[in-house]
A and B are shown apart, each in its own frame.
Chain A
């Protein structure tokens, strides 16, 4: 289970410090992070045969990782966290800003909390950046991206502005990334809105596997150069929107790079 590599990696996570009871102030536990990394490592290396490129672009200190969202059930977030813990040197603990819906779901809630993932509200993100110099993972497309359907594959669905304003206010570099593989591992042909409404969830993917069990598509995470935007975060929209477009374009070109580097979706 938890072997030397995992112990070494988790032991060197500078941004996950526990109190004597084994938890940090957000409820994350290094022991549970290590156990979950066992599963993530298997998914990352064996199941999705994942690779990353440009991970050295991620600077030390506070950073916002911003990319495209896909995969129906946040496999993309897990794989980016795995890349940062397994491929980055030194390993970084990543806090993903997760869809609010998951906070309602029993067991998923505890798993997320224990592994350091937080409900995606700006105040949590800002506190992590300012007080803990954390690496925070943001999918500005939100569930529009996570629940995307096949015809929208590898399309940047339009980012909100919040993450740029936050980056400005907190002087945080944005590292864009393109996540390749989420579209093929869990293609969805409909969000099944009426069913979703009945169940009270944002979307219900109609997938070939019926359940959102991912197919073993090959994954590539392409990290870009850090982007820095000066400002107070209170600027007018016409100042902020061009910055948002720059990040969108960076993610789009990283998707191209990632697709090229990955090659075949399942073989090759």
Chain B
């Protein structure tokens, strides 16, 4: 039986892959985005709307979805923090609330493993029980942590709706441009001298498969999603074809946002110093999900952009 599924942020890299996968599986897909770029298959209904506005409510009425996948968000630290907060927090909470009010029975919020934070005294391979602690040194991503926690509150307040929060590790691939990929695609990539944390990566195709897998009936709760393995940041930079320039942390702080250097908050520097790794066992046990793309191919897929 074909499902009706509304995907927000559908024009993003992960969104397009998810829409494509659902479409190929025979689902009736409603793609929603406030960007118009790109082509959509004929069977996909595109809604040009913003999750924060009435256009989203109208899309909900038209689509009457069985499930909503919320991917819409903005990234980066150059943009106005208040705007980030409106889109990433208020947009997410509104999308969830309106979906529940419209009787949607399944909501998937795609969060990130970064909500745990990269802290020097933190364990590795964190389970979902570990409290998201990024706020301690990384207030700039408070919006993402808050949206993640809000969705968990919804699980208690609305048990009639299956709510899923996914926390995938760093997504890389030929089309994905998350912060890590944008960091890696610079021809010269700076790292913090004297530190080389372990990074977990997942291929964008596997990440999209995980999102689709979360739609399975009965799946609810918070899940880390891991890919095919982990490598030190230095290997990640070298394997993706960048020149690695280790710089003292003090110099990075001075240069941040100056002389053409990207703006990099302390919390982001921490991610270049300390590992933030997660345990994906719960999602694997619950849904049988295993990453299909190997480490070598995942790293190579990020290289192809150079």
Q: A-side interface residues toward B, CB under 8 Å?
A: 19-21, 23, 25-27, 100, 103-110, 113-114, 118-119, 121-124, 127
The complex places the Cα of A119 from the Cα of B123 at a distance, in Å, of 8
B124 & A21 in contact (Cβ 8 Å cutoff): no
The complex places the Cα of A13 from the Cα of B198 at a distance, in Å, of 22
Given A100-B120, A103-B274, A110 and B195 contact (CB-CB distance below 8 Å)? yes
A109 & B194 in contact (Cβ 8 Å cutoff): yes
Minimum-distance CB pairs A-B, first 10:
A106-B194, A123-B123, A103-B120, A107-B194, A27-B198, A100-B121, A121-B123, A110-B196, A21-B235, A124-B123
Q: B-side interface residues toward A, CB under 8 Å?
A: 120-126, 192-198, 229-232, 235, 239, 248-249, 273-275, 277, 295-296
**Residues on B with beta carbons closer than 8 Å to the beta carbon of A108:** 194
A27 & B193 in contact (Cβ 8 Å cutoff): no
**Residues on A with beta carbons closer than 8 Å to the beta carbon of B125:** 25, 123, 127
A21 & B295 in contact (Cβ 8 Å cutoff): yes
Residue ID in chain A nearest B229 by CB atoms: A19
A23 & B232 in contact (Cβ 8 Å cutoff): yes
Residue ID in chain B nearest A103 by CB atoms: B120
**Residues on B with beta carbons closer than 8 Å to the beta carbon of A113:** 196-198, 232
Number of A-B pairs whose CB atoms are under 8 Å? 74
A118 & B124 in contact (Cβ 8 Å cutoff): yes
**Residues on A with beta carbons closer than 8 Å to the beta carbon of B275:** 27
**Residues on A with beta carbons closer than 8 Å to the beta carbon of B198:** 23, 25-27, 113
Given A27-B198, A27-B275, A21 and B120 contact (CB-CB distance below 8 Å)? no
**Residues on B with beta carbons closer than 8 Å to the beta carbon of A27:** 196-198, 230, 232, 275
Residue ID in chain A nearest B234 by CB atoms: A110
The complex places the Cα of A216 from the Cα of B196 at a distance, in Å, of 32
15 A-B contact pairs sorted by A residue (CB < 8 Å): A19-B231, A21-B231, A23-B198, A25-B125, A25-B230, A26-B198, A27-B230, A106-B194, A109-B195, A109-B196, A113-B197, A121-B123, A122-B123, A123-B123, A123-B124
A20 & B296 in contact (Cβ 8 Å cutoff): yes
The complex places the Cα of A149 from the Cα of B277 at a distance, in Å, of 38
Given A21-B295, A26-B198, A106-B248, A119 and B120 contact (CB-CB distance below 8 Å)? yes
Select the residue from A20, A100, A105, A109 with max chain B CB neighbours within 10 A. A109
A121 & B231 in contact (Cβ 8 Å cutoff): no
Given A106-B192, A106-B193, A20 and B120 contact (CB-CB distance below 8 Å)? no
CB distance from B145 to the nearest CB of A (A): 20
A26 & B121 in contact (Cβ 8 Å cutoff): no
CB distance from B128 to the nearest CB of A (A): 13
